[in-house]
């Protein structure tokens, strides 16, 4: 039971980070967001630890971000618009269908992630406003899959859900976000969004690895060594 609680807490910590990161690329950051996550030091106390080099890099980038809290809101606003918010040629658009092997088959890739949602009876509340293949939507769905996994009691069902989560991450997240992250690293003017983008890559990688480990052996140390 103790090991199960540890697993749940680790996954909830990753879900919390992905929910934060997804929100930051879907919506322009508010002053309240700056206060909650930067001024109050939440991003200096991440809820999980990992030896993943990308996770350690993200933690370092986030610690170095928003050093001047008085101009932090403006930096975040300017980066959000340049990277994601411009209607004309954003520098790091956050849509799966625009990247890597998705380029030649963008319609089917977008449809593919929508079908994955439908297979679980889920529809984004942003449908009609934000495409299903937006990274923020994809991360939100990933957190819902993790939540569903944690709610399952049957070991066979949990094993199947672990495979589904890995399939979803490999097909619809890790297939393109390394390239997207590269665009963010190259074009962000502050460390804030560089840290957020690296954090998304790291959390996705760690959840993918977590779901591969034998369930009975998982503990917090597995993600540190």
pLDDT tens-place string over residues 107-135? 455 558 999 999 999 999 999 899 999 99
Identify the H or E element spanning 54. Answer: helix 53-64
Q: What is the pLDDT of residue 212?
A: 86
Q: What is the DSSP string of 93-115?
A: --BGGGSGGGGGGHHHHHHHHHH
Identify the H or E element spanning 67. Answer: none
> Where are the domains positioned within the chain?
2-223
Q: What is the pLDDT of residue 78?
A: 93
Q: What is the pLDDT of residue 5?
A: 66
Q: What is the pLDDT of residue 50?
A: 93
| pTM score | 0.89
Q: Among 147, 155, 156, which Cα is nearest to 207's?
A: 147
Which residue in this structure is represented by tokens 């956050």? 94
- Say whether domain 2-223 belongs to CATH 1.10.3480.10: yes
Q: What is the pLDDT of residue 199?
A: 97
Q: What is the pLDDT of residue 103?
A: 44
- pLDDT lower than 70: segments of the chain: 1-5, 100-111, 214-225
């Amino acid at each position: 039971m103790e090991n199960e609680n540890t697993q749940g807490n680790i996954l909830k910590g990753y879900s919390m980070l992905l929910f934060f990161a997804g929100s930051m690329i879907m919506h322009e950051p508010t002053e309240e967001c700056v206060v909650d996550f930067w001024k109050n030091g939440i991003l200096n106390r991440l809820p999980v630890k990992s030896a993943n080099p990308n996770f350690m890099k993200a933690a370092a980038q986030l610690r170095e971000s928003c050093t001047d809290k008085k101009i932090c809101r403006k930096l975040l606003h300017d980066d959000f618009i340049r990277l994601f918010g411009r209607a004309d040629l954003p520098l790091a658009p956050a849509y799966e269908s625009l990247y890597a092997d998705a380029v030649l088959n963008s319609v089917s890739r977008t449809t593919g992630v929508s079908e994955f949602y439908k297979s679980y009876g889920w529809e984004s509340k942003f449908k009609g406003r934000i495409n299903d293949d937006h990274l923020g939507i994809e991360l939100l769905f990933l957190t819902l899959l993790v939540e569903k996994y944690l709610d399952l009691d049957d070991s066979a069902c949990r094993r199947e859900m672990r495979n589904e989560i890995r399939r979803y991450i490999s097909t619809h997240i890790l297939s393109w976000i390394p390239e997207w992250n590269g665009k963010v690293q190259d074009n962000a003017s502050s460390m804030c969004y560089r840290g957020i983008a690296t954090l998304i890559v790291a959390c996705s990688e760690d959840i993918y690895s977590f779901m591969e480990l034998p369930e009975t052996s998982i503990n917090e140390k597995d993600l540190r060594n």
